[in-house]
Chain A
Amino acid sequence: METEIERYRKPTRILHWIHAGAFVALFLTGLILFVPPLGFLAQDSWTRVIHRVAAILFVVAPLIYIPLNWKATLRGIKDAFSWGGKDMGWMQAAPRYYFLSDEEAMPPQEHMNTGQKLWWLMVIVFGVIFAITGVIMWFAKTAAPIALLQWMVIIHDVAFIATGSMLFVHIYLSVVHPLMRPLRTGAWSSMARGKVSADYARSHHAKWYDRVSKEKEAELH
């Protein structure tokens, strides 16, 4: 049997699914406001109620996750904000890799490659922006200065455009791109069971693979 390596622990997987579901619900109920012919779907505020329920999940899920998973949180935040020359190498090699299946110039990657790290950074930054602007629009609607509310709408929308577009890229690169045969590269198994094949880990995340292999060896001795 093929050897497998744990890529995501159970709490992380649960958080991912809750966040993904909440974000899609938030995305769709928000998108309606960009498409006037669909405006009738929002009448009598019911999409706004769904938006609020999903918003609670979106904010509360990580707030529960963080104190229960301190170490993973700190490591994740540190990863999101550490950028360096090796990321330039990925960016230079990425077009040839994703368009021409040319892996030659692709430098070895850590647990997250540079593209995944960019999306992760956006999730953190825009997640906080969404939460702050959203809470103000929700609870301070009648109390906050009107100019503030106007800008909250605009900032919330800019975050929506940035993350909404990147959501398509994220889903596409995980399960649709011709190189990503989901079952083989492990997108589904890493989302569902948290495990990927050792082959996949070695070819796509060599630095991470080396690191965990060494850790395992050290444990054995």
Chain B
Amino acid sequence: MADKAILYDATKCTACRGCQAACKQWNENDEVIPEEENGVKSVNWGSYENPPDLSPQTWLKMEFREVEREGKVDWLFTRRACMHCSDAACVKVCPTGALYHHELGFVAYDKDLCSGCGYCVDFCPFHIPRSQRDLLTGVAKMDKCTFCTTPGLDRIAAGYEPACVKTCPTGALIYGDRNELVAEGKKRVQSLKTKGYSNAYLYGDKELGGLHVMYVLSDSPEVYGLPVNPQVPAAAIAWQDVIQPLGWAVGGLTILGLGLNYLIAREAKLTKELPGKKEE
């Protein structure tokens, strides 16, 4: 089946955060209300951003940036949630197979299988997965955007678009076949360029083998706080593609060697013992 994707057009986004609310509502993620001893429940830190960060209950969050361009201040918005990479570091390092590539291309996971190791949290180039962790026992569960494929709440299988796309009032989020969205994104970038946004860029077309959430940006990715040319961390590749196969080779050869040794040594010992060898 053709890969599906979400296209987010940052230039159409008004940062209403309807997607944030729809995401929480559909996926039944309770709101986190920060509590502090003096009764102050929230702190004004000079931004409309809220909540402060992604969390196991917040899979999608809008970020606000004030950027000075040609003497004017621009207010830029970035959608922060799982980018659903084709070369997904989290899938590579997940030791239990809980994280996997959905048949439609994006990165889904089986929460029951999650052991809470947190490798995906450490290796994601976008720092998206989050886990609630008991520091003493190590008991944890990872959570992130499921592309609305959580069992029982699977909008995609039911033929719907993801909740965030459904609720977007300005058409900044659209859902469809990835190929078509790449073409649409390129068209929009082209049109931005003709309007003078010379750094306009389609983020996710090529990054990490192609992301399943792509962004139309009016400027280069770093201006939007996105990593330029993100990569699967070298440590993940060294670990999965070198050390683990090496481990199997070393372990396997050791056991094989011991088996061979047993056969040869037993034979040698029997031959030696025939002429009445002295007690060892």
Instruction: Name A residues whose Cβ lies closer than 8 Å to a Cβ of B.
Output: 32-34, 36-37, 39-40, 42-45, 47-49, 51-52, 98-103, 138-139, 141-142, 146-147, 149-151, 153-154, 157-158, 160-162, 164-166, 168-169, 172, 176-179, 184-185, 199, 203
Which of B133, B137, B246 is close to A49, meaning CB atoms less than 8 Å apart?
B137
Q: Show 25 A/B contacts (Cβ-Cβ < 8 Å), sorted by A.
A: A34-B95, A40-B113, A42-B96, A43-B112, A49-B139, A52-B137, A101-B265, A102-B268, A150-B233, A150-B239, A153-B119, A153-B122, A157-B239, A157-B243, A157-B247, A161-B243, A161-B246, A164-B251, A168-B251, A168-B255, A168-B258, A172-B261, A177-B262, A178-B266, A185-B280
CA A39 to CA B95, docked complex, whole Å: 7
| B115 contacts across to A, CB distance below 8 A | 33, 39, 42-45, 47-48
| A165 contacts across to B, CB distance below 8 A | 250-251, 254
What's the least CB distance linking A126 to chain B, in Å?
Answer: 14
CA A200 to CA B115, docked complex, whole Å: 48
Which of A39, A42, A100, A154 is close to B268, meaning CB atoms less than 8 Å apart?
A100
Given the interface contacts A40-B113, A165-B251, A179-B280, does A153 sit within 8 Å of B239 by beta carbon? Answer: yes
Main secondary structure of the interface of B (DSSP, over half): helix
CA A169 to CA B264, docked complex, whole Å: 16
| B112 contacts across to A, CB distance below 8 A | 43-44
Given the interface contacts A146-B122, A179-B280, does A168 sit within 8 Å of B254 by beta carbon? Answer: yes
Main secondary structure of the interface of A (DSSP, over half): helix
| A147 contacts across to B, CB distance below 8 A | 233, 235
Inter-chain contact A150/B247, CB cutoff 8 Å? no
Given the interface contacts A45-B137, A153-B122, A154-B235, does A178 sit within 8 Å of B265 by beta carbon? Answer: yes
CA A169 to CA B261, docked complex, whole Å: 11
Q: Which of B79-124 contact A (CB under 8 A)?
A: 95-98, 112-119, 122-123
| A172 contacts across to B, CB distance below 8 A | 258, 261-262
Given the interface contacts A34-B95, A49-B137, A141-B118, does A99 sit within 8 Å of B280 by beta carbon? Answer: no
| A149 contacts across to B, CB distance below 8 A | 122
| A150 contacts across to B, CB distance below 8 A | 122-123, 233, 235-236, 239
CA A114 to CA B191, docked complex, whole Å: 74
Q: Does B244 contact A (CB under 8 A)?
A: yes
Q: Does B135 contact A (CB under 8 A)?
A: yes
Q: Does B35 contact A (CB under 8 A)?
A: no
Complex: chain B residue closest to A165, CB-CB: B254
Known: A43-B112, A161-B243. 19 other contacts (CB 8 A): A34-B244, A34-B247, A36-B97, A39-B97, A39-B98, A43-B96, A43-B115, A45-B137, A48-B116, A99-B261, A150-B122, A151-B235, A153-B235, A157-B247, A165-B250, A166-B254, A169-B258, A178-B265, A178-B269
